[in-house]
Amino acid sequence: MSYDLDETLRRWLAEDLGRGDVTTRVSLAAGARARGTLLAKTPLVVAGLDIAARVFALLDDRIVFEAACTVGDRLEAGTPVARVEGPAAPLLAGERLALNLLQHLCGVATLTRTYVDAVAGTRARILDTRKTLPGLRRLEKEAVLAGGGVNHRHGLDDGILLKDNHLALGGGLEEALRRAVERRPHGLRIEVEVSSPDEAERALAAGADMLLLDNMSLADLRETVRRVDGRTPLEASGGVDLTTVRAIAETGVDFISVGRLTHSAPAADINLKFHPVPA
């Protein structure tokens, strides 16, 4: 899928600006300039710096955006994220969109890092899902990487994942998988959702390249890991939160997918205070 980031940002800016920033137009002197600091108000992991910078650049190329950290950094409360300086009107016009995106993407990265830390020392890696906000998938998945996670499919076109509905509508596990093996585009692996150790063995025998272990108990996860014995990667999914993820990781699965990384990440708290700069 082609993705024109600038065009997307322009649409989002247009949604906010409408016919223009009337408040700024009636309250600021012509030619006013400003500088400001984007400041972390709580601990966070950094993501989305380039997106925030681009918002301001699209409004006025005279704006200077200077990052004070790099993507993936952990920041403590009170730490600068970036500094901006330039004409005051476009700075105020871009403030809300830049902050909205930066706060959300840092929130995704921060939550991802929390899950990654929770499984440290195990073999499990944290995966994202397609449970993303429309229009933000690319950016959210980049934020997951910034937090130390791993991207699953970016869309329906870059991987085959036979889930329960595909299996039900495709004639059952073996029939749907047989058809997928025959028809798959070159280079695409086939992952199959299973709900028991027995189903896992059936899927593996029928040609699955990876197994999604859906809502299995810890005992069933351990049994599936034992039976599969490294023959194919195993992804655990369902019932995953910060109270359960460590125990799931300790069963020996290779991946744990967490939808809440993108659909429920709380926004990081970042503010932006401007000060006038003499013309």
Which residues are catalytic, by number? Answer: 96, 131, 163, 193, 214
What are the DSSP E strand ranges found in the chain?
33-40, 44-45, 64-67, 74-75, 80-87, 125-127, 160-162, 190-194, 210-214, 234-237, 255-257, 270-277
Report the largest interatomic distance among the alpha carbons of the chain, rounded to a whole angstrom. 73
Tell me how far apart the alpha carbons of residues 270 and 276 are, in angstroms, rounded to a whole number: 20
**CA 106 to chain CA mean position, Å:** 10
Tell me how far apart the alpha carbons of residues 126 and 147 are, in angstroms, rounded to a whole number: 10
The dihedral region occupied by 252, where left means phi > 0, alpha psi between -120 and 50, and beta the remainder, is left
Structure tokens at 6: 């600038």
Assign 51 to helix, strand or coil. helix
